Structure 1
Amino acid sequence: MGELVVSHKNIIDKDTRRLISNRYHRVTKAINAMFWNIDSDSKNSLYVGSYGRNTAISTSDIDILVSLPRSKYDQLNLHKGNVQSQLLQAVKSAIEIPYSRSEIRADGQVIKINFFDNVKFEILPAFRKVDLFGNLLEGYDYPNTNMGGNWEATNPKAEQDAIRDKNNNTNGLYRDTCRHIRYIRDTFFSSYHLPGIVIDSFVYDAIGNWKYVGNGEPTAKKGDYEKRLLNYFNQINTLGRMNLSSPGSNQSVETINSTDCLEKVLTKIAI
């Protein structure tokens, strides 16, 4: 029998969460000071990624979205060249003020901070979307410095809300499955590429009507759920690509470099 799905509650201990929180507030304070000219360590930021979706494990990076004034977005778009890269460098400079001794670099869409204790942060600068009249909308525009630079969209709140509802409807099976897949990935296939958003989006679709059941309710045979996950993967995998959308926001998820690892993980779990 394979490495069947098990509960992964409290997989990030309280001391680590306290450390993460402290660093989150220091980063937020630095961003607010430079871009908003206010003294706040809580406004204009939120946890996103696996940590924000509550599907992270102890090896997961900590993703933070920092919201910047929309006027900065308008100002950047008046400039020539890779303005997205210019923005990342400005955000990097702000973060270097409280963390001058840490390894900090701009990489694609984020600023990466590698701390001495191997906790890794990724900071995503973003701008709230607005309508034609300047009214705030749900969702953000964020920079991608690759291929000369462009703006992309994300809606982390919609993702988090959808995942919370899915987890509640499955009595916790959803998040346990996402965390278990991460655990198997990092334990047995750490050299392969499999981002958290691919895992969370796949499980969101693959889980179907499966859920944890209470005493007295009929249960499936051991291993049936894990085989369901593998079978679903085989159904949607076409030439190394899966058609996945992020929960809630329904934005397309890039999977072309992730199918090999996901197949190995699901096979490990089911067989």
Structure 2
Amino acid sequence: MSLPVSKRGEVISRDTRSTVSTRYRTVTRAINREFWNSQSETQNSMYVGSYGRGTAISTSDLDILVELPQNEYNRFDYARGNGQSRLLQSVRSAIQIAYPRSEVRADGQIVKIAFSDGIRFEILPAFRSISVFGQWDGTYIYPDTNMGGNWRSTNPKAEQDAMKQKNISSNGLLYDTCKHLRSVRDNYFSSYHLSGIVIDSFVYTAMGNWRWTTNGESSSAATGEYERVLLNYLTQNILSWPYNSMTAPGSGQIVEVSNSIVCLKKVVSYIAE
């Protein structure tokens, strides 16, 4: 079956966005109060993940990065045992004070909050990664409690900026395609795993210079040609590699695709064939 990409625009209601914003400010204030001695509802935090990149189609899972002071990194990094786990527990305790009736738990790299309306927040505590020259390029390091504890890195602002610029140059086609693939995944292949960063990284590169036509402009492309371009890129550049891999837009960081590749193939094939 062929299910071509269509214009989707914003698919999350204003009321839902308002609820998300209120909770975001509450979480931010709880972190700032505990770690920064501040009551700010906006500083030291940012939306990340699909919501932050502008490609989410629902708010069932919201990702937030909260920045912590450097002295906290030193304290937990030097701690005996799994300091990363202790850090997550410390963040969990701060958030539990703000939401005492919600389920708040630490899980691997994040702290999860489950609300009664089905919305879940995933909080990623992170520290600025400062170079030996005292410079910061937007990269954060964050805790991973697995395998005895270690640190990983991410640069979400670079990813968001790259996605935003390409969405503008494609007249909205980038965001619409990413949302379309999410919709197909959720409606037809929900039993499979396909992460948001894999979708966004794939579409960002695979779409090339394709764009929506503007008002009064005609398109020379045949129906379904764009979708076949996506499928051809997947077949020739992803599925044919000895080791499936992608890089994230803007940051160039490696994106783990092994758990998502089966579903990505199903989704892209579904819209193109």
TM-score normalised by length of structure 1: 0.96
Q: Which runs of 4+ in 1 moved over 2 A?
A: 131-137, 214-219, 238-243
Whichever residue aligns with residue 260 of structure 1, its letter is: V
Q: CA deviation at 1:249?
A: 0.4
Please say if residues 28 and 43 of structure 2, whose CA atoms lie closer than 8 Å, have aligned partners that are also in contact.
yes
Per the alignment, residue 47 of structure 1 pairs with 47
The structural deviation recorded for 1:107 is 1.1
- Alignment-derived partner of residue 262 in structure 1: 264
Q: How many residues align structurally?
A: 271
Q: Which amino acid aligns with 2:213?
A: V
Cα deviation, residue 228, structure 1: 1.0
Following superposition, the deviation at residue 218 of structure 1 comes to 3.2
Aligned AA for 2:101? R
Identical-pair percentage: 55
The answer to whether the 8 Å contact 1:35/1:68 transfers is yes
Q: Which whole-Å CA distance do the structure 2 matches of 1:219 and 1:135 have between them?
A: 48
How many angstroms does 1:133 deviate by? 5.3
Cross-structure match for 1:219: 220
Contact conserved, 2:198 with 2:257, CA < 8 A, in 1?
yes
Alpha-carbon deviation of 1:219? 2.8
Instruction: Tell me the residue number matched to 1:228.
Output: 229
CA deviations over 1:11-31 (Å, ceiling 9, x no partner): 000000000000000000000
1:39, distance to aligned residue in structure 2 (A): 1.1
1:185-224 per-position Cα deviation (integer Å, ceiling 9, x unaligned): 0111111111100000000110011111122333311111
Letter in 2 for 1:171: N
Gaps (5+ residues) in structure 2?
none
Q: In the alignment, which residue of structure 2 is the partner of 1:58? A: 58
Extract unaligned runs of 5+ from structure 1. Answer: none
Aligned equivalents of 1:242 and 1:29: distance in 2?
40
Q: What residue in structure 1 maps to residue 173 of structure 2?
A: 173
Contact 1:51 1:60 in 2 (8 A): no
Does the Cα contact within 8 Å between 2:55 and 2:178 map onto a contact in 1?
yes
Partners of 1:216 and 1:41 lie apart in 2 by: 45
Amino acid in structure 1 at the alignment position of 2:227: E
The question of whether the paired residues in 2 share the 8 Å contact of 1:240 and 1:260 is answered with no
> What secondary structure does 1:96 align onto?
helix
The CA RMSD over aligned residues, in Å, is 1.4
Secondary structure, aligned partner of 1:58: coil
Q: Structure 1 residues 134, 74: CA separation in 2 closer, same or farther (over 3 Å shift)? A: farther
Q: Are the equivalent residues in 2 in contact too, given 1:81–1:148 (CA < 8 A)? A: yes
1:74 aligns with 2:74: yes
Q: Is the 8 A contact 1:50 1:60 kept in 2?
A: no
> Structure 1 residues 155, 61: CA separation in 2 closer, same or farther (over 3 Å shift)?
same
Q: Distance in 2 between matches of 1:135 and 1:223?
A: 47
| Secondary structure in structure 1 of the residue aligned to 2:117 | coil
Counterpart for residue 192 of structure 1 = 192
